[in-house]
Amino acid sequence: MSTETVSTRPFPDQKPGTAGLRKKVVVFQQPGYLENFLQSIVDAAGNYRGATLVAGGDGRYFNDQAIQTLARIAAGNGVERLIIGRSGLLSTPAASHLIRTRRAAGGLLLTASHNPGGPDGDFGIKVNTASGGQASESMMEAVYRHTRSISRYLTAAVGPVDLDRTGESRYGPLTVEIVDPVAEYAALMERLFDFGGIRSLFAGGFTARYDAMHAVTGPYASEILHRRLGLPADWILNAVPLPDFGGGHPDPNPVDAADLMSVMTGDDPPRFGAASDGDGDRNMILGPGMVVSPGDSLAVMTAMATEIPGYRKGLAGVARSMPTSRAVDRVAAALDIPCYETPTGWRFFCNLLDDGRIDLCGEESFGTSSSHVREKDGLWAVLFWLNLIAVTGKSVPEIIQAHWRRFGRNAFSREDYFIADAGIGDDLLARLEASVSTMIGTRCDGRPIRQADVFEYEDPVDGSVSGHQGVRVVFEDDSRIVFRLSGTGTAGATLRIYLERRIEDGPLLCRPAVELNAPLSQAARSIASVGDLTGLSSPTATV
C-alpha cells in the first residue's frame, strides 16, 4: 500500500485549548482541516512510525467519519497498530487505561467532552501521551506552531475500517484491533472497589439513579452498574449514546442534568444519584435534594480513602486545581500528607501522578480521579461513593454532614458569565490582573482584602512555569473569589467566578452555598466591574 503526500495550506484557527482542539462540526468538516491537525500532532510528537496508538471517541456527530480519516493518516505515517473501541466508542478514562496497559505510544481521542453535539454542535480531538495523560503544554504549543506552517499531510487508502467487528484486521501495513470498550476498564474497577459490598447494597433495596446523558458512559453503566452490580436497567437514565446526546448538553451539573435533578428533588427520591458527561470523565454526585460540590467530594474521598480496597495503603498526597474549594487542604493537613495546588487542566496532575507524589486529585468542574489512570474518571467516582455508602451504612447527606462537623465547611459555588465578544473577556481579565497589587488592604463591600494575586504555577517535578492562571482574591475571614476565563468553549468567552466561604461550625453549616455566597457574588461583580464591561447584570449560569 503506497503512501500519498497531499499538499495543503494552514488553517489560522487551530490553536488548542486546555484539553485539545474544539470547534464547531462544520469547521472540522472543511476539506483538509482534520487531516492538517492530525498530521501536526504526528510531526510534533516526533514520529509514530512502528508505534501503537489508541483511538476512540464519545460517539458524537462526525465521530465515525473522523475515525476513518484518523486511520488513513495513521497508516500514511507508518503507525503499526491502531486500537479502537468498538463502534468508535471509548470513554476518556478507559482510553487512558488502554494506553497504559497496551504500552501504546499515545492516544487520539475524538471528543469535545461536555460540549453539545449534533450537526450544529461541537467536535474535538485530544492528544494523550504514553503515560495515558493529556499532552503537555509544550507539546500542544509545538502542534500549534506546526499547524501554522504545514504544507503537506501523509495518507494511505485504507478502509473503510469495520468498527463493529471485534478482533484484528489488516489494512495494508496497518493492523487495526477493534476492542470491547468496556471490558478492560470494568476489570480495573473490580480490582479497586468492593463489588460484593455494592451488590449487597442494591440487593438490600438501596435505590439509585445514574444519568448517562445519552453519552459514552451508557454502555459502561449498563455493564458495570446493571450486569455486574445489580442496579435495575431502568434506573440508568438516557443510556443509549446518541450523536446529538438526545438534543441535550452532556454536562453533569444541576442545570444540564435536568432529568436526574427532577428525580432527586421529587417526591420519594432515590437515596443516591449520579451523572457523567459526554466522554465519561466528569461526575456529579447527589443525595436526596442535595448536590455534592466537587471540592467536598474530593475532600470526603481523601478523608475516607482507606475504607476502599484499592486505597487501603493510604495516600501519598492529593492535588486540586486552584479554583477548586480548599476543603481538601484541611483533610490533607489532618492526615499529614502533601496537598498540591495546580492550574486548571488535568495535564498538571499527570506529572504529580507519574512521580508518585499523589494518589487522588480533583478539579472544580466536576472532575475527580486517582492514580489508576491519568485522566479524570466519572464512573470511578460514582463507584467510590457507592463503596463508601456500602461500607459505612450512611447516606450521602450523612457522610457530608459528618465531614463538615469534623473538618468545617468550604461553601462553594460558581457563576458563569458568557460574553459573546471574546475580546471583552480578555480585556476584563487583563484589567483584573493589572489591579491586584492595589487591592491588598482595601475593602470591598465592607470586606477587608488580605491577599490578591495572579496565580502562577511552578511544576515541582519538571520545573516548568505556567503563568496567568487566574486571579485570586482572599478576604480577612478566609473567604475567597477566583476569576478565570474558561478554555473549553468554541465561541465567545466564559468568565468563571468561583466563590468560597469558610464556615467552621454552627447553624450555617447546612445552608445552601449559593445563599451563603451571595455577598461574595456582589463583591466579585464589583471587583471585576462585570456589569460595566460586559453589560451583564447577572450570571448566565450558576453552579
Three-class DSSP labels, 13-26: CCCCEECEEEEEHH
pTM: 0.94
Distance (Å, rounded) from C-alpha 349 to C-alpha 370? 10
Closest of 196, 244, 224, 234 to residue 63, by C-alpha: 244
Q: What are the strands, taking DSSP E only, across 147-201?
A: 152-156, 167-171, 174-179
Closest of 323, 314, 394 to residue 359, by C-alpha: 314
Distance (Å, rounded) from C-alpha 139 to C-alpha 144? 9
Is residue 113 annotated as a catalytic residue, yes or no? yes
As beta bridge partners, residue 89 has: 57
Which residue out of 87, 96, 113, 276 is catalytically annotated? 113
- Residues 287, 261: contact at Cβ < 8 Å? no
Distance (Å, rounded) from C-alpha 164 to C-alpha 130? 26
pLDDT at 137: 84
- Check: CATH 3.10.20.30 for 3-181? no
- Amino acid letter, residue 386: L
Helix, strand, coil % in the chain, rounded to nearest 5: 35, 25, 40
Domain positions in the chain are 3-181, 185-407, 409-542
- Residues 226, 236: contact at Cβ < 8 Å? yes
pLDDT at 492: 80
Distance (Å, rounded) from C-alpha 478 to C-alpha 57? 42
Topology of domain 409-542, CATH? TATA-Binding Protein (3.30.310)
Residues composing the chain: 543
> What are φ and ψ of residue 83, in 5° steps?
-100, 120
Q: Which CATH class is domain 185-407?
A: alpha beta
User: Over its length of 543 residues, how does the chain's per-residue pLDDT go in tens digits?
Assistant: 688 999 999 999 999 986 689 999 999 999 999 999 999 999 998 889 999 999 999 999 999 999 999 999 999 999 999 999 999 999 999 999 999 999 999 999 999 999 999 999 999 999 999 999 999 888 999 999 999 999 999 999 987 999 999 999 999 889 999 999 999 999 999 999 999 999 999 999 999 999 999 999 999 999 999 999 999 999 999 999 999 999 999 999 988 999 899 999 999 999 999 999 999 999 999 999 899 999 999 999 999 999 999 999 999 999 999 999 999 999 999 999 999 999 998 989 999 999 999 999 999 989 999 999 999 999 999 999 999 999 999 999 999 999 999 999 999 999 999 998 989 999 999 999 999 999 999 988 788 999 999 999 999 999 999 999 999 999 999 999 999 998 655 668 899 999 999 998 888 888 999 999 999 999 999 999 999 899 888 898 887
Do the domains spanning 185-407 and 409-542 agree at the CATH topology level?
no
- Residues 138, 351: contact at Cβ < 8 Å? no
Give me 499's grid cell. 466563590
pLDDT at 63: 96
Closest of 363, 285, 350, 292 to residue 324, by C-alpha: 363
Distance (Å, rounded) from C-alpha 98 to C-alpha 181? 9
Distances (CA, A) of 44 to 23, 155, 401, 439: 21, 17, 49, 42
Q: How far apart are the first and last CA of the chain?
A: 53
Give me 13's grid cell. 484557527
pLDDT at 136: 86
pLDDT at 365: 86
Burial letters 100-132, b for 16+ CB under 10 A, else e: bebebbbbbbbbbbbbbbbeebbbbbbbbbbbb
